[in-house]
Structure 1
Amino acid sequence: MTPEIIAHRGASYLAPENTLSAFRKAMEIGADGVEMDVQQTSDKKLVIHHDFVIDWHTDMRGQIYDMTEGELKALDFGSWKDVNYRNERIATLQEALALCREMEGTIVQLEMKATIDDDPDFVPRVIEEVRAANITDRLVVISFNHDLLRQAKQLMPELKVGVLVYGALETMALPTSTWEMLGLQNGLEEDDFPQLPPLSVENVDDENCSWALRWMGNQISMLQANFPGKSLVEVAQRLLEQRDPVKYVQTLDFKPDWVSCEYHTAYQQPSMVQKLHDLGIKAAYWTVDGEQAVKDLWPLQPDAIVTNRPDRVREWISELEMTE
């Protein structure tokens, strides 16, 4: 079985992530579909963006939830990537789904980013746009906040939903030497990590500290939104409960159609895909960008691979199919 190749935030290594250009480019280079993130503005509109903060994708600071759709639309979300994408505008959910509908056969993984204020009307707004787009047959709504998925399924029973989990977080922390000793590969190369300036007495200045604090603040805000009202200890406990995705989904009071998991978990739990299939649930792994990782996952037969490099993953999968 050939897994679906889903472009993470569109063709994010070639075009500015989560933009209409990135979604078009993804399909041009051979992806089966795209993954995108939807969140809510201060005036209750729905836009496509991953982080709460816009610092890294525009020339100003701000949070999506503190800005109106109009204020966001006035900003350039493309120049940070390449001058050729100058004046790329943030996409609304309506615009993104309309584009995917036009691109025949495009699969959509739509991640709902929980609102900072736990707005009970957020999911109904998303569902309204999904219904209007008329592509339910090739769309799955995913989220780390599983309460949002429960609400979505109640509002639209025919909607496919997918539980996002980190899985066994400790598998991401093992050094390369440990993986090699186990006869496995972690798929990470030195070039995969962002090139940040080395910290020293000379360069620990206001700009570097501000960047780090903004990034940490964004991550904490995301956790607070996904686990509203929970302490950090309680959040950690929730994540531990999800380290075995198969056991975890069986504790839910609704049945997801998909489980989407950080791919290193597959090395520790190679039977995960088959166990999910036995439950009638499909499995996806993210974010898979290395050739060795694709080779390692291939025998497990996941239903989808989420990647920043859909063209390369397509090539590697084609080579694996030819050798069978």
Structure 2
Amino acid sequence: MRPQVVAHRGASHDTAEHTLLAYTRALEVGAEALECDVRLTADGHLVCVHDRDLRRTAATRGVVSTMNLAELDQLDFASWKNPWAELDDEAPDRDPETGKVLTLRKLLETVADHGQGVELAIETKHPTRYGGLVERRLVELLADFGWDGRDSPVRVMSFSRTAIARIRHLAPDLRVVILIEKAHHWPLLKQAIGPSWILGPGVTELQDHPTFAKALRKSGRDIHVWTVNTPEQLQTCLDVGARAIISDKPAYMIQLLDAQNGGRRYAR
């Protein structure tokens, strides 16, 4: 069975990451899951933003955790991706609303409305000034959609083992992914993680450390790999038996996989 193709921050190679436009583009090209990072605003809203500060994606020195949602809503999160668009007469018109800060609630609504079995991989970012409140607010929001149980289309990811343990405590039936940044973390990590936790290694670590890749495959756990954008990286994932690949280029990954699998798609 071929791996699930997960759109990393949406179709982020071609479109500004974490914007509504990035996610709708990902759905249009057939991504089977959407990945997002979440942070908590000063007034308690979960928003889809990767960096703690906004210099890269919104051209301001503001920090997400110190700003209210209304303040973030005034910022442009899309122009950085194509700063010369206003000078390009052939550039397509863009609805400004699709380039604003995206709340997790809005993304969940988008997935719910899509109605074709699309899943969500939500990463909670740590360290953060709010600590475990992020996971608590996340589970509360998922409960609003009825997505905090065994049949949820959502899985929660983090590099923080403590954060994953919180999710397990708050919503025991949710699928969880422990992200692995460095291969040398594995010998200790494997002794401290739960029996059903999914493994989330980076593809470069798998390529640079074949012994690490072999150990993960021998573990018998599901493996979800990030961030996979080339044919060589995809082959690494197939060799390790990955069940999901997280890519900035979901359309390209789907094309490569469909060519190998005769059009057979991922099935959960």
Structure-1-length-normalised TM-score: 0.70
Secondary structure of the corresponding residue to residue 62 of structure 1? coil
1:141 aligns with 2:156: yes
> Which secondary structure does the structure 1 equivalent of 2:80 belong to?
coil
| Map of 2:80 onto structure 1 | 80
- Check if 1:31 corresponds to 2:40: no
1:10-40 CA deviation, whole Å, 9 max, x = no partner?
Answer: 1001221012211111111121111000111
SS class of match (2:120)? strand
Q: 1:117 to 1:311 in 2, by over 3 A?
A: same
3-state DSSP of counterpart to 1:53: coil
- Which residue in the other structure is 1:132 paired with? 144
Amino acid of the structure 2 residue aligned with 1:290: T
Match for residue 251 of structure 1?
191
CA offset at residue 111 of structure 1? 0.2
- Is 1:271 the counterpart of 2:211? The answer is no
Give identity over the alignment, percent: 25
Does the 8 Å CA contact 1:249/1:255 hold for their aligned counterparts?
no
Matches within 5 A, 1:195-274: 240=184, 242=185, 244=186, 247-252=187-192, 254-267=194-207, 268=210, 269-274=212-217
**Which of residues 164, 170, 177 in structure 2 aligns to 1:162?**
177
Aligned equivalent of 2:7: 7
Correspondence for 1:224: none
Deviation at 1:273, TM superposition (A): 4.4
Q: CA deviation at 1:86?
A: 3.9
Q: TM-score, normalised by structure 2?
A: 0.84
Partner Cα separation in structure 2 for residue 265 and residue 76 of structure 1 = 34
The whole-number CA distance in structure 2 between the counterparts of 1:297 and 1:254 is 23
CA deviation vs aligned residue, 1:126-152 (integer Å, no higher than 9, x gap): 110111123452110000111011011
Match of 2:118 among 106, 125, 132: 106
In the aligned structure 2, how far is the partner of 1:101 from the partner of 1:273?
33
Higher gyration radius (CA)? 1
- Change over 3 Å in CA distance of 1:150–1:292 after alignment to 2: same
Q: Which moved further from structure 2: 72-81 or 267-276?
A: 267-276
Partner of 1:121: 133
Q: Any conservation in 1 of the 2:132–2:163 contact (CA below 8 Å)?
A: no
The alpha carbon displacement at 1:118 in A equals 4.6
- What is the alpha-carbon root mean square deviation over aligned residues? 2.0
Distance 1:161 1:294 in 2: 23
CA–CA separation in structure 2 for the residues paired with 1:152 and 1:316: 34
Shift of the alpha carbon at 1:256? 4.3
Cα distance in 1, alignment partners of residues 241 and 193 from structure 2: 27
Deviation of residue 98 (structure 1)?
A: 1.3
How many residue pairs get aligned? The number is: 245
Aligned residue number for residue 92 of structure 1: 103
Q: Which sections of structure 1, spanning at least 5 residues, go unmatched?
A: 169-239
How far, CA to CA, are the matches of 2:95 and 2:15 in structure 1? 8
Q: CA deviation at 1:115?
A: 4.9
Q: Verify the 8 A CA contact 1:266 1:272 in the aligned structure 2.
A: no
Partner of 1:200 in structure 2? none
User: In 2, Cα distance between the equivalents of 1:144 and 1:261?
Assistant: 10
The letter of the residue matching 1:2 is R
Q: Paired residue for 1:57?
A: 57
Residue 90 of structure 2 is matched in structure 1 by none
- Contact 2:180–2:202 (CA under 8 A) maintained in structure 1: yes
Q: Which runs of 5+ in 2 are unaligned?
A: 86-93, 263-268
Partners of 2:193 and 2:259 in 1: CA distance: 41
Task: Tell whether 2:70 aligns with 1:70.
Answer: yes
CA contact (8 A) 1:79 1:86 kept: no
| One-letter code aligned to 1:271 | K
* Cα distance in structure 1, aligned partners of 2:243 and 2:63: 35
**In the alignment, residue 258 of structure 1 is paired with which amino acid?**
I
